[in-house]
Amino acid sequence: MSPAGEDRGGRVEGVRAVGPPRRGELAMVIIARDFETSNWIEIEIRGGIIVAVRPGDGPSETSANDDSVGPAFWDIQLNGRWGHSFSSPELTVEQVVAIVRAQGSLGTASLCPTLITAPPGQMLHGVRTIAAACDADPETARKVLGIHLEGPFLSHREGYREAHPADARRDPDIELFDELQDASGGRIVLLTLAPERPGAVELIARACRSGVVIALGHTAADGPTLRAAVAAGTKLSTHLGNGIAAQLPRHPNPIWHQATDDAGSASVMLVARSFHSPPSSSGLTGAASVSGNGSNTSSRTSRASSQC
């Protein structure tokens, strides 16, 4: 980063000059490679606002030390940080604010605080605390896209639960979901569930009508069940390949059903962290992204050893 001490808009033909910085206005120019084209660009920022983007100068040969720049990340599965989990019964407003604000240093502009499976009272505490943090701090409210509930309506089968407590998993319950949504102030925007559990299709349809996105996850569902879930409104597969049994049939199995059009074109989400999914699995997201059906998430947890 370098201070923008003079107007530099006239350096590139066709770029409108915006004039010198006003007195007392913080101004800077970021020079880096465009993440898509690898071309050098300059981004001029004044008072926290991008006022110009134009071609920049830099070495023609690429280097591992070159800075690159692109749009900020949207992380739709953030479970916590620094030993604090959004699912903790001791979660505080101050912890939520600190975690949400800190994600900016990692390039994340917007995120979904994510709660995993827990007893109803504990989940109610979590969503209420996140809602209170949004009400108390404008920056937190601006960064929080909404709340992601990963559970408690997940597979009852061992091998599919990972960090989700076995005794807290349960069948889909519309009344419980409505209670959680009310407690959050309407902030629940994403719900991950296993569609093979009784009552799942009814909850999917109900939640989708209210604008909530439904994701498949921690599921052992077969092809027809997955297709029924997509027909009811499911749009996403949460961290495909994680939250699944170590031994599966060669074919068919839940991964292939969800990664192909067999499930009805629900989008695929992978966790871009090696202890969740190997680096080679990102190729699956890349292939899905050709048709707009792929994404990655951090699935950052409160402890590095936790897997959700």
**pLDDT tens-digit profile of 295-307?**
444 444 444 333 4
Give the pLDDT score at 267: 58
Rounded to two decimals, the pTM is 0.74
Domain ranges of the chain: 2-69, 73-297
Give the pLDDT score at 162: 66
The strand ranges marked E within 47-139 are: 49-55, 68-69, 73-78, 80-81, 84-85, 108-116
Lowest mean pLDDT of 10-24, 227-241, 250-264, name the range.
Answer: 10-24
- Who wins on pLDDT, 267 or 29? 29
Q: Is 9 helix (H, G, I), strand (E, B) or coil?
A: helix
Name the range with the highest mean pLDDT among 33-47, 57-71, 134-148, 244-258. Answer: 134-148
Give the pLDDT score at 167: 86
Give the pLDDT score at 239: 72
| pLDDT exceeds cutoff 90 at 33 | yes
Per-residue tokens: 302: 């409160």
Per-residue tokens: 169: 């998993």
Q: Whole-number mean pLDDT of the chain?
A: 79
Classify domain 73-297 at the CATH superfamily level.
Answer: Metal-dependent hydrolases (3.20.20.140)
Average pLDDT (243-257) is: 63
With beta carbons less than 8 A apart as the criterion, state whether 223 and 241 touch: no
Give the pLDDT score at 243: 63
Average pLDDT (75-84) is: 92
What number of other Cβ atoms are within 10 A of residue 62's Cβ? 11
| pLDDT exceeds cutoff 80 at 232 | yes
Q: Which of 96, 35, 42 is nearest to 68 (CA)?
A: 35
Indicate the pLDDT class of residue 206, thresholds 50, 70 and 90: very high
Percentage with pLDDT > 70 across the chain = 69
| pLDDT exceeds cutoff 90 at 250 | no
Give the pLDDT score at 253: 66
The pLDDT tens digits of the residues spanning 153-195 come to 998 877 667 677 788 999 999 999 999 999 999 999 999 999 9
User: Who's near 199: CB < 8 A, 6+ residues apart?
Assistant: 171, 172, 173, 174
| pLDDT exceeds cutoff 80 at 249 | no
Cis peptide before 252 (omega within 30 of 0): yes
Give the pLDDT score at 24: 59
The pLDDT tens digits of the residues spanning 80-137 come to 999 999 999 999 999 999 999 999 988 899 999 999 999 999 999 999 999 999 999 9
User: Who's near 201: CB < 8 A, 6+ residues apart?
Assistant: 195, 228, 229, 232
Give the pLDDT score at 237: 83
User: Who's near 301: CB < 8 A, 6+ residues apart?
Assistant: 79, 80, 85, 163, 307, 308
